[in-house]
Amino acid sequence: MKCLKNTLIIYKFIYDIKVGLNMNINNNLIENSLKFYGINNRDYLDRCKKCINEINQNLEIQLEMYKIYNILYIDNTNKISQLWEIKNIEELFKNKVNPFITNILLLLGYEIHINNMKKYNLDDKQCAIHKKRVRECLTNDIYERKYEGIRISQMLWGTYFINVKLIEVGRLQYALNKYNPITQKEELCIKIHIPKDKNLDIYEVKKSLNKSKQYIFKYFKLNNPKYYCDSWLLSNQVRSMLDNSSNIAKFHDLFNVVEGKDCINNILNFVFNIDFCNEYKELDEKTSLQKKIKSFLIKGGIIKEGIGTLK
């Protein structure tokens, strides 16, 4: 225990020098963050306070937490990509933890978010979008899926906005990447993301793509970007289920697509709004797409994501 305490003290000392962060999480910091992101819910605040109290009383959890904080907000070696592979919160923290700890880690980035908004000179509209998206990451799992804390994926997604790795232009989002998976080369390129809160109207998609170049240059200083997208929406198997009038089909046809990895987890998440399914016969059939995918899966079909270069 003494060795652990000494390690934590050293780690805190180094960390304080690097980022000037008060390592003892306090309620005022979290309250200011909640206010910044427009979360005015007493129950949410109470859950934050309970989690903070547990964190501040456990040296082992503190050490793991600040290691993760460093990866999320300080590290420049892309270690964050490794965290996407971890689905279990106890595996991430190497301890049994209060599930609200992922919420706390995301909330702790709000001052960095403010500084990055100034650094990148985000306009008022882009700032409002960023705050909205982080708020969604902080709340959707809690109030829509009724989870006890946000998923690791939501914590990570929120930090992409905090670190201004993403901008949003109309219907689509654009991330600056240093590696192009299509050419398999180290080169600056733009990854397209598709928020799921609206219909995939192809007119709005094309409008966003046309406007995106000026914003990519404005915020990322990149001219004539190469665009790519990897998504279940580009799945050749899903495309084969749809006629040409479908917006998903029209989106797919904007790209030259190669086949990627199995994307059943994303299908369950984005199409059926669940995380896991043991028996495909139990899947919902509320939409025509759900019916077609359900039938395909029951017959033993495998759905792979598409990785596409914009034509």
Domains, in order of start, for the chain: 2-164 (no CATH), 202-310 (3.40.630.120)
Return the bridge partners of 304, or none. 262
Rg (CA), the chain: 21
For residue 228, what are its two tokens?
Answer: 């790519």
As a whole number of angstroms, the distance between CA 46 and CA 48 comes to 5
Q: Quickly list H helices, the chain.
A: 2-19, 27-36, 42-56, 59-73, 80-83, 89-93, 101-107, 110-119, 124-143, 152-162, 202-220, 236-240, 247-252, 264-272, 288-298
Do strands 185-193 and 227-231 pair parallel, antiparallel, or not at all (unpaired)? parallel
Return the bridge partners of 179, or none. 186
User: What is the SS3 assignment for 15?
Assistant: helix
CB atoms within 10 A of CB 238: 26
pTM score, whole prediction: 0.88
Low-confidence ranges of the chain (pLDDT < 50): 2, 4-11, 13-22
What pLDDT is attached to residue 197? Answer: 78
What pLDDT is attached to residue 146? Answer: 94
For residue 201, what are its two tokens?
Answer: 């109207």
What is the tally of helices (H) and strands (E) in the chain? 15, 6
As a whole number of angstroms, the distance between CA 274 and CA 214 comes to 37
What pLDDT is attached to residue 38? Answer: 98
Task: Calculate ∠ Cα 131-270-164, nearest 5°.
Answer: 30
What pLDDT is attached to residue 20? Answer: 40
| Phi, psi angles (nearest 5°) of residue 247 | -65, -35
Return the bridge partners of 114, or none. none
